[in-house]
Structure 1
Amino acid sequence: MRIQNEAGVLLDIDGTLVDTTYLHTVSWWEALRQAGHDVPMALIHRSIGMGSDKLLDHLLGADRDRSGDHGIRDTHDRHFAGFWPRLRPLPGAAELLRACAARGLRVVLASSAAEHELAALRAALAADDVIDVVTSAGDAGESKPAPDILTVALERSGLDPARVVFVGDSVWDVVAAGRLGIRCIGLTCGGTGRAELTGAGAVAVHDDPAALLAVLDDSPIGGLG
């Protein structure tokens, strides 16, 4: 059931609010290398933001033998977990969430991170006091760029797609939002360029959460109130 007259902000967390994109890149590179796949880091980086199943399809080919996929994902998870104590929020991340909440907007973490990773990400972000709804990888039938995780986020928050803005850092975030007709603000702090995010359909692009916060009232989020 929709919550009438309420508006909200959906936000990705990996690479958008917490500085993890390159940590994931290194973790996938090591996992792939150990499985005998020599994949350049630049190609891996450009795939970050996809679900792990689609990332492996994208990098290794959809017609490959998938028997080793579980081991590759486990190795990635082990390497990424080694970074957890050093995870840091991106500039202005928690402040952005609190500013949205102060404007009466529902704050929804539309994350496709695994449940065990999400706990570490939320601890680094330190903004649980203003977060209304959180999703994780297990909530989506299909991973990004499919829009499933955003559909779940909308259903749980009770918000209408016309009354929300999604904030993400990857082309895959922008594509997923576009499939539901949701406006997406892109942030380049995940390492994806302004032109790519705009080309994918982002309605605005900023450097990081702090840069978005600085113009919040004049952004698409400012128009939600």
Structure 2
Amino acid sequence: MTTPDTAVIDVDGTLVDTNYHHALAWSRALRRFDRTVPLWTLHRAVGMGGDQLVPAVAGDRFEAEHGDDARAAWKEEFEPLLPEVRALPGARELLADLAEGFGLTVVLASSGAPEHVQAYLELFDGRSLARECLTREDVTRTKPDPELVRVALRRVAGSAGFVVGDSVWDVRAAVAAGCPAYAVRTGGFGADELREAGARDVFSSLEEVRGAIPRVLRG
């Protein structure tokens, strides 16, 4: 394996603690359209972009009839929860280690809304540590489609990269893009399901990821 020069890092659930906020916001949004989806089902879909999540949890017919309105409702429901979001322990330190300690190009790649991602970055000084930050506005299809990972590497002219994320959708996007995937359980996904999706290793915290960087670089 070529030694990686780029680290593509997910944001929601990986660097900031948002997955359960998203599940609650989606639940409230879908109920506006008389569609009740269990929270555990919604949580398992968090990590997808909204374009993928709505048909996944509510079906293609619901997407055709209400998809755009449901995504607008989700945004309205999530906004009041945004001030409650906090960076996960070790977020800034991980990015600093990758960029300054190991000389990697760091790209943050999120399927989230640009305005939300901007608010997250302020929690851990992400703009100063990442070369680029991509959101759903930079692609036509969000995770688990591999486009976001591929665009992230192209944006910084990376020749080889690895992905760190918290969800099976992050892992599947990385694998489909031909990149090694490493998962952290900060988003609430199980170790077995992350490995089954293709993760090379699974960590319980960002601190564990930091300790494993030399091993990750060796492949």
TM-score grouping bracket, smaller chain normalisation:
over 0.9
How far did 1:209 drift?
Answer: 1.2
What root-mean-square deviation, in Å, do the aligned CA atoms of Structure 1 and Structure 2 show? 1.5
**In the alignment, which residue of structure 2 is the partner of 1:196?**
193
TM-score normalised to the size of structure 2?
Answer: 0.93
Query: Segments of 4+ in structure 1 off by > 6 A?
Result: none
How far did 1:205 drift?
Answer: 0.5
Superposition pairs for residues 12-91 of structure 1, below 5 Å? Answer: 12-64=10-62, 66-91=64-89
Q: Any unmatched runs of 5+ in structure 2? A: none
TM-score normalised to the size of structure 1?
Answer: 0.91
**In the alignment, which residue of structure 2 is the partner of 1:177?**
174
Secondary structure at the residue paired with 2:60?
Answer: coil
Matched length: 216
**In the alignment, which residue of structure 1 is the partner of 2:146?**
147
Percent identity over the alignment?
34
Kept in 2: contact 1:169–1:192 (CA 8 A): yes
How big is each residue's C-alpha offset from its partner over 1:191-223, in whole Å with a ceiling of 9 and x where there is no partner? 1000000011101100121221133323x1x43
Kept in 1: contact 2:109–2:149 (CA 8 A): yes
Kept in 2: contact 1:114–1:138 (CA 8 A): yes
Separation of aligned partners in 1, 2:124 and 2:46: 20
Secondary structure at the residue paired with 1:109?
Answer: strand
Kept in 1: contact 2:48–2:169 (CA 8 A): yes
Secondary structure at the residue paired with 2:169?
Answer: helix
Separation of aligned partners in 2, 1:127 and 1:64: 36
User: Residue type of the partner of 2:119?
Assistant: A
**In the alignment, which residue of structure 1 is the partner of 2:117?**
118
**In the alignment, which residue of structure 2 is the partner of 1:166?**
163
Name the CA shift for 1:101/1:65 in 2 (closer, same or farther; >3 Å): closer
Name the CA shift for 1:140/1:45 in 2 (closer, same or farther; >3 Å): same
Superposition pairs for residues 91-102 of structure 1, below 5 Å? Answer: 91-102=89-100
Secondary structure at the residue paired with 2:177?
Answer: coil
Name the CA shift for 1:63/1:34 in 2 (closer, same or farther; >3 Å): closer
How far did 1:6 drift?
Answer: 7.2
